[in-house]
Structure 1
Amino acid sequence: MGIIIEGLVGDWWGDINESTQWQDGIFFALCVAYALVSAVALIQLIRIELRVPEYGWTTQKVFHLMNFIVNGVRAIVFGFHKQVFVLHPKVLMLVVLDLPGLLFFSTYTLLVLFWAEIYHQARSLPTDKLRIVYISVNGAIYFIQVCIWIYLWINDNSVVEFIGKIFIAAVSIIAALGFLLYGGRLFFMLRRFPIESKGRRKKLHEVFFFYFTLFTT
Structure 2
Amino acid sequence: WRNLEKNDSLQIYSNYGIGGAYGLIGLVAFVQLIRLQLRVPEYGWTTQKVFHLLNCLVSVLRCSVFFFRPALEGLHPVVTKLMLLDLPGLLFFTTYTLLVLFWAEIYQQARNLPAAALRPTFLIINLVVYGVLAGLWALITFGKTSDVQELSYTISNLWLAAVFMAAAAGFLLYGGRLFVMLQRFPIESRGRRKKLAEVGLVTSICAGCFTFRAVVIANSAIDRNDLEVDMLGHPLLNIAYYALGEIIPSAWVLYILRKLPPKRTHQGYQQIPSQ
- TM category (shorter chain) comes to 0.7 to 0.9
Measure, in 1, the Cα distance between the counterparts of 2:168 and 2:60: 20
Q: What does residue 105 of structure 2 align with?
A: 117
Q: What does residue 5 of structure 1 align with?
A: none
Higher mean C-alpha deviation, range 186-195 or range 134-143: 186-195
Q: Give the counterpart letter for 1:108 in structure 2.
A: Y
Alignment of 1:11-30 (within 5 A): 13-30=1-18
Q: What does residue 181 of structure 2 align with?
A: 189
Higher mean C-alpha deviation, range 57-66 or range 79-88: 79-88
1:166 equivalent among 137, 146, 158: 158
How far apart are residue 145 of structure 1 and its match?
Answer: 1.2
1:176 matches 2:168: yes
Q: What does residue 6 of structure 1 align with?
A: none
Measure, in 2, the Cα distance between the counterparts of 1:20 and 1:110: 39
Mapped contact 2:79–2:141 kept (Cα < 8 A): yes
Seen in structure 2, the aligned counterparts of structure 1 residues 196 and 87 have a Cα distance that, compared at 3 Å, is farther
1:13-72 alpha-carbon deviations (Å, 9 max, x no partner): 011221121122222222122222222222222222222212111112111111111122
Measure, in 2, the Cα distance between the counterparts of 1:187 and 1:44: 26
Q: What does residue 99 of structure 1 align with?
A: 87
Measure, in 1, the Cα distance between the counterparts of 2:16 and 2:162: 26
Seen in structure 2, the aligned counterparts of structure 1 residues 161 and 58 have a Cα distance that, compared at 3 Å, is same
Identity of aligned residues (%): 50
Measure, in 2, the Cα distance between the counterparts of 1:58 and 1:85: 39
Higher mean C-alpha deviation, range 63-72 or range 112-121: 63-72
Measure, in 2, the Cα distance between the counterparts of 1:29 and 1:121: 44
Q: What does residue 251 of structure 2 align with?
A: none
Mapped contact 2:136–2:156 kept (Cα < 8 A): yes
Q: What does residue 123 of structure 2 align with?
A: 135
Helix, strand or coil for the counterpart of 1:86? coil
How far apart are residue 114 of structure 1 and its match?
Answer: 0.8
1:122-157 alpha-carbon deviations (Å, 9 max, x no partner): 111110111121011111111111111222232261
Give the count of matched residue pairs: 205
Helix, strand or coil for the counterpart of 1:87? coil
Measure, in 1, the Cα distance between the counterparts of 2:85 and 2:54: 17
Measure, in 1, the Cα distance between the counterparts of 2:29 and 2:186: 29
Mapped contact 1:98–1:168 kept (Cα < 8 A): no
How far apart are residue 201 of structure 1 and its match?
Answer: 4.5
Unaligned stretches of 5+ residues in structure 1: 1-12
1:199 equivalent among 173, 178, 191: 191
1:108 matches 2:100: no
Higher mean C-alpha deviation, range 29-38 or range 14-23: 29-38
Mapped contact 2:54–2:95 kept (Cα < 8 A): yes
Mapped contact 1:16–1:23 kept (Cα < 8 A): no
Unaligned stretches of 5+ residues in structure 2: 210-243, 247-275
Mapped contact 2:29–2:52 kept (Cα < 8 A): yes
RMSD between aligned alpha carbons? Answer: 2.2
**Greater RCO between the two (CA within 8 Å, min separation 6)?**
2
Measure, in 1, the Cα distance between the counterparts of 2:109 and 2:115: 7
Alignment of 1:31-70 (within 5 A): 31-70=19-58
Q: TM-score, normalised by structure 1?
A: 0.83
Helix, strand or coil for the counterpart of 1:140? helix
Mapped contact 2:90–2:130 kept (Cα < 8 A): yes
Measure, in 1, the Cα distance between the counterparts of 2:74 and 2:203: 34
Measure, in 2, the Cα distance between the counterparts of 1:146 and 1:98: 10
